[in-house]
Structure 1
Amino acid sequence: MSNLVAEFNSKTILHSQLKTAIKAISNTHSMSGIVGTGMLLLGPSGVGKTKILENYTKTYLAKQTGLETKTLSKKPILSIRIPASPSPKAILEKLLTAAGHPFTTSNTQSVLEKRLSAVIKNQHVSLIIFDEFQHMLRAQAQKSTRAVLNFIKVLMDENQIAIVMAGTPESLESIREHEELYQRFTHEHITLKPFKLDSHEEISNFSSYLSACEHILNDLGVHSISLTSEINLARIYLATDGKPRLINRLIVKAIQSAPDSGNLTLIDFALANTNPPLNPKLGKFNPFQAKPDAIKKRLKVSK
């Protein structure tokens, strides 16, 4: 069963929002070496920001040749998560660690900046990804906000490098307050949203996503109840709030709950949505145990 779960988790479903985001990252990346250019990837927790960044990195690196030689280890992309208590020095240390470049904690910020510039040049870094950028919100970062944002601005300008920053929609406010940095991050703004059932187009997009999930399960030898029937579409939407991360978790838990992991029933999905329920807003209401009329009524309330 563990292999089955790992196989399912390893798959990436290229739905429309993901394709748009990956194209935007590629466009931004292509500006590296020309001018310091940035983009923002925004969205609430669970909509797939980190998954998109991982997919882009994996796909890009797979197309590169000569990354490892006897004398050189190229690192075209450096990706880190902004620490909970961000400072320029903390970010520098994480970037150097991501590059596999040793440093000592006694190094000053100035020394670390020189080391990073050398790494960017010598290891052919062309894109830096900062995930969890919401840690830079004024309420959380407090006095370090301006110092870090200034550091990022200088990093972009001096190295003519592309930077992608991902975080919650509120993260945008921390940049808007700094006009000089905001201008550098106007190349692309992509905002990801959970799936919805408010229009025919949104229903179609959600159905396509769940259909892709079904195909993956079939390829893995798992037979499942229809995920795209009208009633099951509503059940899954209510249980997961339309968030890809929770949809993945629902299916994984259903596989783990099933007595026969090769056959997923409605009961397995009901068990997957308990202890705890995936969407706490539903309280004790389990859409996989409810009758169709109750589901439709609850769906109207959730919209």
Structure 2
Amino acid sequence: MIDAKTLAGKDGLYPDDIAEILANADPEKRAVLMRIGRAVVDHYRYDQAMKWLDDLYREHGTAREGRAGLFYGQPGVGKSTILKRFASMRAGPFETAKGTVRPVVLVEVPSNPNEINLFDALLTALGCEHLCVGKAEERKRAVVEQVKAQHVHMIILDEFTHVIEDKTEKFQKKAVRHLKSMLSEGACQFVFAGTEELTSIHEVYGQIRRRDAGDFYLTPFNWADEADRDEWCAILASIAGEALEGEKEEDVEEGILAIPPSPPISGLKQAHKLHKATGGNISSLMKLLFRATAIAYDEGDEALVDGVFAEAFEFARRGSKDDNPFGLPRRKPRKPRLSELPEGFENELTGVRKGERRDRDSFSKR
């Protein structure tokens, strides 16, 4: 599943340039861009990930102990989007004869976690902020009680890599030991989600490996893999509303790009360029399409051509030295002009007035 709402970061905020574009956009431009911002496209990786989560969920109660699994991959491959979609389908809360029931609880692990804020994150996800009081052990007891009282089948700990990356091995073991005790009681299943560094949890705490239900590794699209390449092209075709080879035009659904690409982005050559520009990463792809559409709209372009994509790529390069797959960005003719810095800026920026002029100074007479 591509959910382009992941244009926003973990804090729910857009990258600075995208936030600025949306803030300054007129209603028509905003509508054009938010067609990208609200898009969802189902695909094979999404199906496989959802099946893995569903299988683990259904194992609840089938054994004396709970099971755990790692759900990991590079940033931007769609992990959090899939987890949110899965949780939204099952999470609740639902009011039943037994009381409030939350079959799935999605928890975002805080950065730089400690025992207190880790249990507070769990209690907040359980709708029990009022229980975020007392010492760590008291909070832990409150979590255990609420998991049982609300008949929780699965807890998903998103960004659990914070525990692995930001803390000492001693804290890692302590945090995982707390969660392991809930697994031992068979209270619920656990999903630890994060980046690839998450796999070290098996080395840090072997008890989790013993309860491992199998892990799911979500990868970017690999251009060298034929199946991945075909799926990548099919996704691009869906986004742009283009027909794939052998597909009838009348069977093609409308895409989300208000400004059509030229040439078609689902063709092998153009699809390869987009793959090079984004590393086969869905989040990067959607941001590139968003920026390219914004540039084309402002310039009055009738199509997303290579020059537009080249500009969008350069804007988000962020220090990358890779060649621009789309060639050189367009250069807009502009007449050069001279101006002066405001009074007082010379000292700070150039140092021209600092100290006495010496013969070796580059501004000295020769």
What TM-score, normalized to structure 1? 0.83
Taking a change above 3 Å as real, the CA distance of residues 70 and 199 of structure 1, as seen in their structure-2 partners, is closer
CA contact (8 A) 2:240 2:257 kept: no
Q: Deviations over 1:265-287 (max 9, x none)?
A: 113322221223278241xx322
Deviation at 1:130, TM superposition (A): 0.8
CA contact (8 A) 2:173 2:204 kept: no
CA contact (8 A) 1:240 1:278 kept: no
Across the aligned residues of Structure 1 and Structure 2, the Cα RMSD in angstroms comes to: 2.8
Residue in 2 that maps onto 1:88: 115
1:170 counterpart SS class: helix
Q: How do residues 174-253 of structure 1 correspond to structure 2 at under 5 angstroms?
A: 174-185=201-212, 187-215=213-241, 218-220=254-256, 222-225=258-261, 226-253=264-291
Q: Deviations over 1:44-91 (max 9, x none)?
A: 111111111112122335xx7x82479944322211222222233321
Taking a change above 3 Å as real, the CA distance of residues 93 and 75 of structure 1, as seen in their structure-2 partners, is same
In structure 2, C-alpha distance between the alignment counterparts of 1:12 and 1:279, rounded to whole Å:
30
CA contact (8 A) 2:112 2:162 kept: yes
In structure 1, C-alpha distance between the alignment counterparts of 2:35 and 2:285, rounded to whole Å:
16
Corresponding pairs, count: 284
In structure 2, C-alpha distance between the alignment counterparts of 1:49 and 1:37, rounded to whole Å:
20
In structure 2, C-alpha distance between the alignment counterparts of 1:9 and 1:249, rounded to whole Å:
9
Moved more, 192-201 or 38-47: 192-201
Residue in 2 that maps onto 1:265: 304
Residue in 1 that maps onto 2:71: 41
Residue in 2 that maps onto 1:77: 104
State the one-letter code of the partner of 2:82. I
Percent sequence identity over aligned pairs: 21
Deviation at 1:159, TM superposition (A): 4.6
Moved more, 8-17 or 92-101: 8-17
Deviation at 1:264, TM superposition (A): 4.1
Moved more, 123-132 or 209-218: 209-218
In structure 1, C-alpha distance between the alignment counterparts of 2:303 and 2:122, rounded to whole Å:
43
In structure 1, C-alpha distance between the alignment counterparts of 2:99 and 2:33, rounded to whole Å:
37
In structure 1, C-alpha distance between the alignment counterparts of 2:136 and 2:309, rounded to whole Å:
51
State the one-letter code of the partner of 1:58. S
In structure 1, C-alpha distance between the alignment counterparts of 2:256 and 2:194, rounded to whole Å:
33
Higher relative contact order (CA 8 A, sep 6+): 1
Residue in 1 that maps onto 2:193: 166
Q: Are residues 1:136 and 2:163 paired?
A: yes
CA contact (8 A) 1:36 1:156 kept: yes
Deviation at 1:250, TM superposition (A): 0.9
Q: Which runs of 5+ in 2 are unaligned?
A: 1-28, 243-252, 330-366
What TM-score, normalized to structure 2? 0.70
Q: Of 282, 297, 315, which aligns to 1:275?
A: 315
Q: Deviations over 1:103-142 (max 9, x none)?
A: 36541122212221222123232211111122222x5310
1:254 counterpart SS class: helix
Deviation at 1:36, TM superposition (A): 0.6
CA contact (8 A) 2:113 2:163 kept: yes
1:224 counterpart SS class: coil
CA contact (8 A) 1:78 1:99 kept: yes
Q: Of 113, 117, 124, which aligns to 1:97?
A: 124
In structure 2, C-alpha distance between the alignment counterparts of 1:43 and 1:119, rounded to whole Å:
30
State the one-letter code of the partner of 1:198. A
Q: Which runs of 5+ in 1 are unaligned?
A: 292-303
In structure 2, C-alpha distance between the alignment counterparts of 1:18 and 1:207, rounded to whole Å:
16
